[in-house]
Amino acid sequence: MSFLPWGTRGSSRLVRAEWTRMTYYKFADYWPILSDGFAESRDRLVKNVAAHSVRASSYGLVRASVDVVAGLPDEYAQGIYAQPHTFPAVLRFSDGLGRIRPGVGFGAVCGVGVKMFDVPGRSLTKDGPDAGTFDLELINSPTFFCNTARDYVAFEALCAELPEVLLAEADRRDWFYRFVTGDGTLPRGDWLWDELFSFVTLESIPHKNLLSYDYWSIGALRHGDYIAKVRLRPAEVSSRSVDHEAGTGTAAESFRAGLVEEAGEREHRFDLQVQLAVALSRTPVHNTSKRWSEQDSPFVTVARILVPRQDISMDANLVSADATMITPWRSREEHRPLGEIMELGRSVCVHDQFGCPKGGEPGNVEELMGCGSRSSEWSW
């Protein structure tokens, strides 16, 4: 069967006909699972964060608007996407692996945080539950290389040896063996092959403009009555218009330079897309290292994001970006993060107050941006 992405080709009647033949996994049938030793590993990670808080390097913060698509099929018109609406927003671009020795032994792993404002309902976070903000945390890789709290803690220790340990063949083989076997603690049937394959693909991520990447949610999220992953993809017209690749210098300097130039010269558009889970054997929640096949379930655009032309060259823009705290748990019950690695993220966020805006969660874009950007084209 050939699936047609929403709004890209064919009539909406044909697209709806294709979708009616698919069966999606219901959230009501999902049962959360935490691995043995989760609490102990979580507490160890929280202590590490408290002692050595390392935030992802900020590359910039841009104003945006999120427009929910009208006429979505019922399976996709869930939660905040149930009705057409425009939400004011900001996008925070940053290094994608801030807590795991950024920039060492990896490709150009980057992240984007989407913070929407004026979203109805109470947040799942304890700080500012009624602030009306809603966050999405995404990275430019469709898979993640850790699935349990124990694996994440072990991987942090392994990363301390990079990149020197990869120089000699014997050391390199030993490092990968310890990665796959959980430092020799896992039985052969539980070796972390999916996680290893996810890790090695990071090296192939090219260095280019931040506005050119696709970005995915690290794990699965509830999508109303269903379960989904989220992707942010540059709209075709924006993808073709990017003239400035990442600049020279350090990763932070080059990504920042390319973002500033592109944001200052033209508007950019993204499609915010949802991929619904089918059978959990093919679209697993607890294995973030396995990519969900688009043959099983296509990505469907549920909202469109406009980033207007704006000047973000001021130093104050980086200050605003650093003050922007993004967590997928600043969500709504209808979009609750799922899986152990997402649960681990909630615990870390609660204990990591570095960079949190003074006075609590901001109430609107202007309060967050301050004097960090200038745009003659912006209005609500």
The answer on pLDDT for 89 being more than 90 is yes
Kindly state the average pLDDT of the residues 341-356: 67
Indicate whether 50 pLDDT > 80: no
**Least confident window among 48-52, 279-283, 294-298, 317-321:** 48-52
Q: How many CA atoms lie within 13 A of 325 on its CB side?
A: 23
Mean pLDDT on 295-324: 95
Average pLDDT estimate for 56-75: 94
pLDDT confidence of residue 162: 79
Give the three-state DSSP class for 51: helix
Residues 75, 19 contacting (CB under 8 angstroms): yes
CATH top-level class for 12-369?
Answer: mainly beta
Question: Does residue 167 or residue 187 have the better pLDDT?
Answer: 187
Q: What is the pLDDT of residues 311-346, one digit of tens each?
A: 999 999 999 999 898 999 999 999 999 999 999 988
What's the longest Cα–Cα distance across the chain?
61
Residue 26 · residue 67 · CB < 8 Å: no
Sorted by where each begins, the domain ranges of the chain are 12-369
Residue 63 contacts residue 376 (beta carbons within 8 Å): no
Residue 348 has pLDDT above 90, yes or no: no
Residue that wins the pLDDT comparison between 160 and 276? 276
Average pLDDT value for the chain: 85
Residue 5: is its pLDDT beyond 70? no
**Is the predicted pLDDT of residue 45 greater than 60, yes or no?**
yes
Q: What pLDDT is stored for residue 130 in this prediction? A: 92
281 against 54, higher pLDDT: 281
Give the least confident one: 83-97, 110-124, 166-180, 364-378: 364-378
Q: 106: pLDDT confidence band, cut at 50, 70 and 90?
A: low
What does the alpha-carbon distance between residue 86 and residue 304 come to, in Å, rounded to a whole number? 9
Q: What Å distances lie between residue 229 and 299, 342, 348, 357, CA to CA? A: 9, 12, 21, 28
Phi, psi of 139 (to 5 degrees): -130, 165
Residues in a beta bridge with 136 = 114
Between 152 and 244, the higher pLDDT residue: 152
> Confidence band (pLDDT; 50, 70, 90) for 309?
very high
For residue 364, is pLDDT > 50?
yes
**Confidence class of residue 14 from pLDDT cuts 50, 70 and 90?**
very low
Indicate the pTM of the whole model.
Answer: 0.87
Average pLDDT estimate for 125-132: 89
- Mean pLDDT of the 245-263 span: 81
pLDDT reported for residue 299: 98
Q: How confident is the model at residue 65 (pLDDT cuts 50, 70, 90)?
A: very high
pLDDT of residue 3: 36
Mean pLDDT of 86-112: 78
pLDDT in tens, 143-174: 999 999 999 888 888 888 877 888 899 999 99
Distance (Å, whole) CA 218 – CA 230: 9
Percent of residues, the chain, with pLDDT higher than 90: 62
Q: What is the pLDDT of residues 198-230, one digit of tens each?
A: 999 998 999 899 999 999 999 999 999 999 999
Secondary structure of residue 110 in the 3-state scheme: strand
